[in-house]
């Protein structure tokens, strides 16, 4: 009651004793995203509150408040939903707080230097070419297939090679223990988030699937530690061999990986412990995998429905790659020239951001732009709502990449009005990596394939997307079975997959 009075400045639906708003949120992750947007529109595109029992959540959608929180040096502790990641990634950069986060952020920054990214791009390109073969098989006979299911193996292969320097070849062996355990843990975290009894390990241990969860975790840990230990041995061997000046084949093949930077990095004048290295490598894989698969899936989905935009992307490819093999990979510099593709990716992240919500926990009472927020409140920054705010993006349900073109200066969002990679001190450290990867894959894909909707009649003729949100209490618009039913916990996904077709370009 005391907290209710303190946050009277923020509206919200009526609550029931003990359960708060839990009964209104629906049953599935898709219901929850509609519940968020229903409130967003009901409360005039502003902030609103949700009580999960006695736990206060404020959903922040006001760009001024988002700016305040993201720029703050004190509001950087993550909310309790990230606790579910601790058993796997521990205190890696994404979940760490305080001095630990600050010092590790500084230490990791150089790993994303553009010279290193250029090396990583070679890995992205090689794996992208393998992926084209997978797409060719999946699209045979005009089949409708789930793009997400395929692309998640591609991003895993790229991340394992760039982070640990090893190829696990998940695209060809999706059933290896590591690939399966990773997929299991990621979806496990998503599903548990909606069940208060499953969220905390103290109660989750009584559920039957807890054993499977522990097994998957064990496999991930053993595998990652094993790779790190082998890498350390290899580097030692390399040093000895260098002294003898006769490199073995294994050593000469060794490509720089994120892990190598961690092995040589120093924090407060000391090397990282094995455990710290494990945590950062696992964080790199977790933070990069689902986010990249989601981004690639929704760009591809939008291109499948908006063939006029796809044609423009294709024409840009023809003009940049004119003297080169059209089916091959673009170079780092050619990718830099693909400006229209940049606009398409930006617009796709506006409509379908890979990370729709980020959470902060208030460790003390605080004031945000004059509004009092009590201690122990979860601040959920609904980044996705910014993209659907018609005061920032007029006609928001229209897929219009040109709205990000600097030539349309009046329509460009201000600094904190469009933040799919977050902003401020805790922004995404992997942003450039992610964009390079998306461009590498999409550019090659568009030159190799026509990307088509699951059924011809699903093409958008008027430029509008199939997603629709309505104010809370209004009936939800009907959707086709091949329209994505969005769901979100840490990343945005589609409950029913990303169903498309592809046709090889002659």
3-state secondary structure of 205: coil
Segment (H or E) for 177: helix 177-192
Bridge partners (DSSP) of residue 494 are 486
Least distance to ligand HEM from the beta carbon of 455, Å?
Answer: 28
Distance in Å, CB of 117 to ligand HEM, minimum: 10
Residue 415: Cβ-neighbour burial (10 angstroms; 0-12, 13-18, 19+): exposed
Q: Which is nearer to ligand HEM, 120 or 482 (CB)?
A: 120
CB 179 within 8 A of CB 170: yes
Among the residues of 245-367, which ranges form H helices? 249-252, 258-264, 274-305, 307-320, 332-336, 339-351
Q: In this structure, are strands 48-52 and 55-60 parallel, antiparallel, or unpaired?
A: antiparallel
Cβ nearer to ligand HEM, comparing 292 with 300:
292
Contacts 24+ apart (CB under 8 A), 15-22: 15/51, 18/53, 18/54, 19/53, 20/50, 20/51, 20/52, 20/53, 20/54, 20/55, 21/50, 21/51, 21/52, 22/52, 22/53
CB under 8 Å to 189, separation ≥6 — which residues? Answer: 84, 85, 489, 490
Query: Which is closer to ligand HEM, CB of 346 or CB of 468?
Result: 346
Comparison of 185 and 358: residue with beta carbon closer to ligand HEM: 358
Q: Which is nearer to ligand HEM, 20 or 165 (CB)?
A: 165
Cβ at position 447, least distance to ligand HEM in Å: 22
486: alpha, beta or left, given left = phi > 0 and alpha = psi -120 to 50? beta
Say whether 186 counts as a known binding-site residue.
no
Smallest gap from Cβ 356 to ligand HEM, in A, equals 9
Q: Rounded to the nearest 5 degrees, what angle is found at the Cα of 491, between the Cα atoms of 487 and 492?
A: 40
Least distance in angstroms from the C-beta of 428 to ligand HEM: 3
CB of 280 to ligand HEM, least distance (A): 8
C-beta separation of 93 from 283 below 8 A: yes
Residue (366 or 383) nearer to ligand HEM, CB: 383
Query: Packing angle between helix 307-320 and helix 274-305, nearest 10 degrees?
Result: 110
Cβ nearer to ligand HEM, comparing 21 with 291:
291
Residue 24 C-beta: closest distance to ligand HEM, Å: 26
CB 411 within 8 A of CB 394: yes
Q: Which residue number places its CB atom closest to ligand HEM?
A: 430
List contacts with ligand HEM (CB under 6 A): 78, 93-94, 105, 283-284, 287-288, 291-292, 295, 354-355, 358, 420-422, 426, 428-430, 433-434
Binding residues for heme: 428
Binding residues: 428
């Amino acid at each position: 009651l005391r907290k209710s009075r303190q946050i009277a400045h923020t509206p919200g639906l009526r609550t029931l004793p003990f359960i708060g708003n839990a009964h209104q949120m629906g049953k599935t992750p898709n219901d929850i995203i509609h519940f968020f947007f229903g409130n967003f529109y009901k409360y005039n595109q502003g902030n609103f509150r949700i009580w999960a029992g006695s736990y206060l959540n404020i959903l922040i959608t006001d760009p001024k408040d988002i700016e305040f929180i993201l720029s703050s040096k004190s509001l950087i502790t993550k909310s309790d939903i990230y606790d579910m990641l601790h058993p796997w990634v521990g205190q890696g950069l994404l979940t760490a707080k305080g001095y630990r986060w600050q010092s590790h952020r500084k230490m990791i920054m150089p790993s994303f230097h553009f010279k290193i990214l250029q090396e990583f791009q070679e890995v992205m390109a090689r794996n992208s070419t393998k992926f084209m073969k997978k797409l060719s098989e999946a699209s045979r006979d005009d089949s409708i297939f789930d793009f997400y299911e395929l692309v998640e193996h591609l991003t895993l292969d790229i991340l394992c090679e760039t982070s640990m320097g090893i190829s696990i070849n998940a695209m060809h062996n999706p059933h290896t223990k590591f690939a399966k355990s990773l997929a299991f843990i990621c979806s496990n975290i998503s599903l548990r988030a909606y069940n208060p009894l499953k969220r905390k390990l103290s109660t989750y241990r009584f559920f039957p699937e807890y054993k499977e969860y522990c097994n998957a975790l064990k496999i991930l840990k053993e595998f990652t530690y094993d790779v790190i230990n082998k890498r350390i041995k290899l580097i030692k061997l390399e040093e000895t061999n260098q002294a003898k000046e006769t490199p073995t084949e294994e050593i000469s093949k060794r490509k720089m990986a994120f892990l190598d930077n961690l092995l040589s990095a120093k924090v407060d004048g000391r090397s990282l412990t094995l455990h710290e290295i494990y945590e950062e490598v696992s964080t790199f894989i977790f933070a990069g995998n689902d986010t990249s698969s989601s981004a690639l899936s929704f760009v591809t989905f939008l291109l499948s429905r908006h063939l006029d935009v796809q044609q423009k992307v294709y024409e840009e490819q023809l003009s940049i790659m004119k003297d080169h093999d059209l089916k091959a990979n673009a170079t780092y510099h050619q990718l830099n020239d693909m400006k229209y593709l940049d606009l398409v990716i930006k617009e796709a992240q506006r409509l379908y951001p890979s990370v729709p919500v980020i959470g902060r926990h208030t460790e003390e009472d605080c004031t945000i732009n004059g509004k009092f927020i009590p201690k122990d409140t979860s601040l959920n920054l609904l980044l996705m709502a910014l993209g659907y705010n018609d005061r920032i993006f007029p006609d928001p349900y229209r897929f219009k990449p040109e709205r990000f073109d600097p030539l349309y200066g009046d329509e460009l969002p201000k600094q904190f009005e469009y933040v799919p990679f977050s902003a401020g001190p805790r922004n995404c450290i992997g942003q450039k990596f992610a964009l390079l990867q998306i461009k590498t894959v999409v550019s090659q894909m568009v030159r190799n394939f026509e990307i088509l909707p699951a059924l011809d009649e699903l093409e958008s003729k008027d430029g509008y997307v199939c997603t629709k949100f309505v104010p809370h209490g209004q009936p939800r618009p009907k959707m086709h079975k091949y329209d994505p039913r969005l769901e979100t916990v840490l990343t945005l996904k589609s409950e029913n997959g990303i169903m498309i077709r592809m046709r090889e370009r002659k």
